[in-house]
Structure 1
Amino acid sequence: MTSLFVDRRGITLELESGAIVFRENGERIGTVPIAPLTRVFLRGDVRLPAALLGKLGEQGVGVVILSGRIGRPSLLLARPHNDAARRVVQIRLSFDKPFCLMIGKALIERKLTQQIEWFSELRESNMQARYELTHVLRGLEEHRNRVGYTNNTASLRGVEGSAAARYFSGLQTVVPDSLHFTGRNRRPPRDPFNALLSLTYTLLHSEIAIALYGAGFDPYVGFYHRLAFGRESLASDLLEPLRPLVDQFALALIRKKTLEKDHFSTTEAGCLLGKAGRVRYYAAYEKHSETLRKGINQEIEWLTAQINEVLTATEDDMSPDNNFERIS
C-alpha cells in the first residue's frame, strides 16, 4: 500500500483501465496503477476528471488537496463503513463525560509515555544535552503521574499543556541551533523545524480523518477534543499519542540532512518548505508512512475496543429499540 504525491504545475490526471495517467501539455508522461494506493495528495495546479475521483472513492483511496502556500488540507473521503450504528453510538458516547475523560486520560498518558521513552533514548546518545533532558524527563514523569488524578477534562488539558511546554524545551536541546527552534509555534510556523512539524502533523491528521471515516466513525465528533466548527475533533484525539512519531521523523530528517535550512524560506506567511525540499520530504514521508499508518490502525482498534467495552457493560440496561450491535 502506498501514497501518491502530485506537486507539479500544469499536470492533468486521467483514468485509464484502473490506472492514473499523467499528462503534461497533452503528452503522456507516466502511469500509476490505482490498486496499491491508499492516499493521493495533490498540490498545485493539478487537473483531474470526476470519473477519476469517483474511481478513487470506489477503491477506498482518500484524496488530500493541499491548497495555498501553506498547504491547507481539504479532504475528499472515500466510501464510509456501511454500519451507521457505530456513528450513532459514537455520538451518544460523546455526551458521556466520564467516558470522554477516560478516553482523554488514556490518550495523553500514552503520548507522555512515548515522549519519555524517546527522550530516554536521546539522553543516552546526546551527551551535551544529558543534563537538560534528565531535568525534562523528571518533569514529564511527574505530569504523567498527575494524569491519573485529574477528574475533569479541563484539568487534564492543563496537565497536557504544562507537559508540552517542558517537552518542547527538551526537544530544543537536540534540534540544531542553526534552525533557531525555541519551542513550538504555528499559524504560521516561524522556523524550519516548526514548519516541518506543522506539515507532518497536517498530513497525519488528514490520514487519521480518512481512516476514521472508512472505519465508520465521524471524524468531527471527538471525545477529548470537543466539537469545533471545521475541525475533525476525533482525528485530533487520535493524533495525540502519535505526535512523538512525527517529532522523531522530523528530527531524523534534519540530522540525516535529508532536509537542510536552505530548503526553507521565510516570508510574511511564515516559514515554508520550498519545492525542492518538498520533493525530498514526500519521498521520506512515504518511507515512514508504514510506521505512521500502523500507529493509526492501532489507535482506531483501541478506540473501537473501548466503545465495545462500554456497550457490553450497558447493553442489559438498553431497550431493544436502542440496542446496537458491537463494532467488529
Structure 2
Amino acid sequence: MVLHSYSQISTQALHFCADQGIGVHFISGGGRYLGSFDGRQGSIQRRIRQYDALSNPEMCLHLARKLVICRGQGQRKFLMRGQRGRAEVPVLLKQAISQMKAVLKQIPLVMSVESLLGVEGNLAALYFGALPHLIAEGVSPQLKFEHRNRRPPRDRFNALLSFGYALLLKDVMNAILTVGLEPALGFYHQPRSQAAPLALDLMEIFRVPLVDMVVLAAVNRGQWDVQADFEERGQQVWLSDTGRRKFVSLYERRRSETWKHPVTEYSLTYRRLIELEVRLLEKEWSDEGGLFAQLILR
C-alpha cells in the first residue's frame, strides 16, 4: 500500500496490514520516499548470514562492481537505442556512448568502494549529459531535460524521474522484506536519508527499464500536459494529483510487462524480477553466486 502526500490511514487499517503482511509505504507529494511500516522481519539465521557477508569489504566491493557495471551498461544500451532510425546521430550522443564504454572497462580495476563512487559519478554525468538527445524535437520546451536535479526537482522532466524513482524504491523495499533480508544493511550506498541502503543498492538495476524508459517514452509521445499534470512552487516543480495518477498508471502498466532474464531465461513480470534479483543477491553469499546484476538491456 502506498500513501502519497498527506493521505491518512487509520490505526485499525495499520493493524490489519501488519497482520496480513502488507507493507505500507509513505511518499511525499513531490515523490520523495519517506519510509515504511512493515511487520515482516524474516528469518534471523538469514539475516545473520547477510550481516556476515556484508561485513566483508571484499564481498561488498565485488557486489558493488557488479552493480555499477549493470547500471552503466544499461544506461549505455539505452543511449544506443536512441541512435536507431535516425538519419543523423548527434555527435555528443556518439561521444557519450564511446566514453561510457571506456569508463566501464575501468571498473574491474577499482580497488575500493570509495573509488567506485567516483567512477559511477563519471558514468552518470555522461549518461544524463547525453539524455537530452533522446528527446523528440517536437516536445514542449517545458518538458526538455538539461541536467539531473532533485531535492527538490526544478523542472518537469526531473519531477517525473524523482517520482518514478520513489515508486521503484517502494517496490524494491517490498521485495527485500518479502525475501526476509535486512534493508538497512547494504553493500554500496551509505545511510544518509530515510531510504534503506540495500534498497538504494538494488534499485540501481531497475532505474533505466522501469523509470527512465517510461518517462522518456511518455514525454516523446506527448502524454503530459505541462499545465494540468504539474505544479510550480517558486523554483520547485512537482507532479499534480492528476499527474501522479497518470504516472502511477504508466508505471504499473510497465511493471506488469514481462522481461526474459538473460541468464536464467525466465520470462517474468518486472514485479517478479525485482524479487528474483533480491534472491539472486542472497545467493552471492550462499555459494551459488554469478547470477546477480545480470539484467541488462539488449
**TM-score, scaled to structure 2:** 0.83
Structure 1 range deviating more: 269-278 or 58-67? 58-67
What's 1:61 paired with?
22
Structure 2: distance between partners of 1:152 and 1:305: 22
Alignment counterpart, residue 75 of structure 1, candidates 30, 36, 48: 36
1:305 is aligned to 2:283: yes
Find the aligned partners of 1:110 and 1:43 in 2 and give their Cα distance. Answer: 30
C-alpha displacement of 1:264: 1.6
CA distance in 1, matches of 2:247, 2:194: 27
Q: Aligned equivalents of 2:242 and 2:168: distance in 1? A: 21
SS of equivalent to 1:123: coil
Separation in 2, partners of 1:125, 1:107: 30
In structure 2, the residue corresponding to 1:293 is in which secondary structure?
Answer: helix
Larger Cα-atom Rg = 1
Question: 1:277 aligned to 236, 243, 253, which one?
Answer: 243
Q: Residue type of the partner of 1:158?
A: G
Query: Which residue of 1 is the match for residue 226 of structure 2?
Result: 261
Q: 1: distance between equivalents of 2:12 and 2:177?
A: 21
Paired residue for 1:244? 208
Q: Counterpart of 2:82 in 1: which secondary structure?
A: helix
Structure 1 Cα separation of the partners of residues 212 and 193 of structure 2: 27
1:42 aligns with 2:20: no
Correspondence for 1:186 among 143, 150, 155 = 150
User: Is residue 207 of structure 1 aligned with residue 171 of structure 2?
Assistant: yes
Percent identical pairs in the alignment equals 28
- C-alpha displacement at 1:133, in angstroms? 2.1
Q: Deviation digits for residues 176-229 of structure 1, max 9, x if unmatched?
A: 461241111111111111111101111111221122122111111110113446
| C-alpha distance in 1 between matches for 2:118 and 2:164 | 25
Distance 1:70 1:203, change over 3 A: closer
Show the counterpart of 1:131. Answer: 91
Secondary structure of the structure 2 residue equivalent to 1:115: helix
The residue aligned with 1:319 is none
CA-to-aligned-CA distance 1:114-155 (integer Å, 9 cap, x gap) = 122222211113445443322111111111111111111111
Match of 1:151, SS?
A: coil
- Paired letter, 2:121: G
Q: 1:167 aligns with which of 113, 121, 127?
A: 127
Number of corresponding residues: 271
What displacement does 1:93 show?
2.2
Q: Distance in 2 between matches of 1:60 and 1:269?
A: 40
C-alpha contact 1:124 1:130 (8 A) present in aligned 2: no
Q: Distance in 1 between matches of 2:97 and 2:243?
A: 33
CA contact (8 A) 1:73 1:206 kept: no
Unpaired runs of at least 5, structure 1: 1-39, 312-328
**TM-score under structure 1 length normalisation:** 0.76
Taking a change above 3 Å as real, the CA distance of residues 187 and 129 of structure 1, as seen in their structure-2 partners, is: farther
Say which structure is richer in strand. Answer: 1
Shift of the alpha carbon at 1:252?
1.3
- Relative to structure 1, is the Cα distance of residues 69 and 162 closer, same or farther in structure 2, using a 3 angstrom cutoff? closer
Cα offsets for 1:264-299 (capped at 9, x unmatched): 222136110112212211211211123542341232
Paired residue secondary structure (1:124): coil
Aligned mates of 1:174, 1:215 — CA distance in 2:
37
After superposition, the CA RMSD in angstroms is 2.2
- Distance, in Å, in 1 between the alignment partners of 2:278 and 2:91 is 37
User: Which one of 94, 106, 121 corresponds to residue 66 of structure 2?
Assistant: 106
Larger RCO (CA within 8 A; separation ≥ 6)? 2
Q: Which residue of 1 aligns with 2:180?
A: 216
1:279-294 maps to which residues of 2 (within 5 A)? 279-290=245-256, 291-294=269-272
In 2, are the aligned partners of 1:58 and 1:79 still within 8 Å (CA)? no
2:216 counterpart letter in structure 1: L
Query: Counterparts of 1:77 and 1:269 in 2: how far apart (Å)?
Result: 35
Q: Secondary structure at the match of 1:307?
A: coil
